[in-house]
């Protein structure tokens, strides 16, 4: 158990260090964005003195390292700062008030997609591994390989063409307001969720199939077959427990993608999530909002991958039951 505790502590420390490195990359990358908010808001007719005064009020005149230190200090206190959009000398809208509702929408879309994609991919992956080299296995692999091959925007526009324009089942624009009911939210989010399901299910299914196939050739599985155990019992008691680590890594990686990689889908469906907010903020040079969105994306990705590492460690029998 001491070795297991050390491994878990190492993963947590590595996650913290990675988060700090990501925050540095995000901050200094945002500083290199072309354009300047002060110049954009004042217009081309503004004098250099006016632009300089506004930059000073916004804190943009300070050196980048000093601004990074101040940003980290505020983050440690849970303060994401104020948005540049609608800013005035007396203050402005807090970044938290802008980002958190959009984060809730993105998490809702990701959770809805996960509720559909994870069970479907596990069932397809396990059954394709059991009936490998059969017509069923070939058809499933062909469909998933085709889904992986197409870019996200192409699948999204196909879904809009057939499910919205041709059949009229779902709306092509996912309009959600703060007063939207759960039923309405579910209805307008279902088409983007189905689009993301087609994208992530293929990868999860193929990796699940690979993990199960590799275990089917192990000696303990052959011994279970020689003892006459039923196939369902062998899968449930001998194969799946040993495949949990690999499957958990795949699921966590794809869940991280669902939250981080929804930018294209949100823009296409005009979904009011963090991806759409980040694109709009980049266009308006709203640096605090861009930094907050990028930091949340990076933090969620790191946390989910950390959970995957911890799950793979906890599911490793050699670590749980050392000799």
Residue 39: both structure tokens together: 């110049």
Pair 314, 248: CB distance under 8 Å: no
How many residues in the chain?
A: 323
pTM of the model: 0.81
Which segments of the chain does DSSP mark as H helices, in order?
A: 2-31, 37-42, 48-58, 64-76, 95-130, 135-149, 152-159, 182-216, 219-226, 231-234, 240-260, 263-268, 274-283, 287-314, 317-320
- pLDDT single digits (tens) 85-103: 766 555 567 888 888 888 8
What was the pLDDT predicted at 97?
Answer: 84
What was the pLDDT predicted at 276?
Answer: 86
CA dihedral 64, 65, 66, 68 (to 10 degrees): 90
Please identify every stretch of the chain with a pLDDT value under 70, giving residue numbers as ranges.
1-4, 33-46, 58, 61, 86-92, 315-323
What was the pLDDT predicted at 298?
Answer: 85
């Amino acid at each position: 158990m001491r070795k297991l505790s050390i491994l878990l502590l190492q993963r947590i420390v590595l996650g913290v260090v990675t988060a700090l490195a990501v925050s540095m990359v995000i901050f200094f990358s945002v500083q290199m964005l072309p354009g300047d908010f002060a110049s954009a808001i004042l217009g081309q007719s503004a004098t250099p003195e006016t632009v300089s005064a506004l930059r000073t009020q916004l804190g943009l005149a300070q050196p980048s390292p000093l601004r990074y230190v101040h940003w980290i200090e505020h983050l440690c206190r849970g303060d994401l700062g104020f948005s540049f959009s609608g800013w005035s000398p007396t203050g402005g809208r807090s970044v938290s008030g802008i980002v958190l509702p959009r984060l809730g929408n993105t998490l809702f879309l990701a959770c809805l997609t996960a509720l559909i994609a994870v069970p479907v991919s596990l069932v397809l992956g396990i059954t394709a591994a059991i009936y490998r080299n059969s017509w069923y296995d070939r058809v499933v692999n062909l469909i998933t390989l085709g889904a992986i091959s197409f870019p996200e925007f192409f699948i999204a526009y196909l879904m809009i063409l057939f499910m919205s324009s041709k059949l009229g089942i779902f709306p092509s624009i996912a309009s959600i307001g703060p007063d939207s009911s759960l039923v309405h939210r579910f209805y307008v989010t279902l088409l983007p969720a189905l689009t993301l399901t087609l994208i992530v299910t293929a990868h999860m299914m193929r990796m699940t199939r690979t993990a199960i196939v590799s275990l089917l050739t192990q000696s303990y599985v052959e011994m279970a077959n020689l003892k006459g155990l039923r196939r369902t019992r062998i899968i449930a008691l001998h194969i799946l427990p040993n495949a949990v680590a690999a499957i958990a890594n795949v699921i966590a990686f794809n869940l991280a993608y669902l939250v981080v990689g929804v930018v294209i889908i949100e823009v296409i469906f005009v979904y009011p999530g963090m991806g759409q907010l980040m694109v709009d903020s980049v266009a308006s040079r709203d640096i605090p909002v861009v930094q907050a969105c990028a930091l949340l994306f990076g933090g969620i990705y790191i946390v989910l991958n950390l959970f995957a590492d911890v799950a793979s460690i906890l599911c490793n029998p050699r670590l749980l039951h050392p000799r």
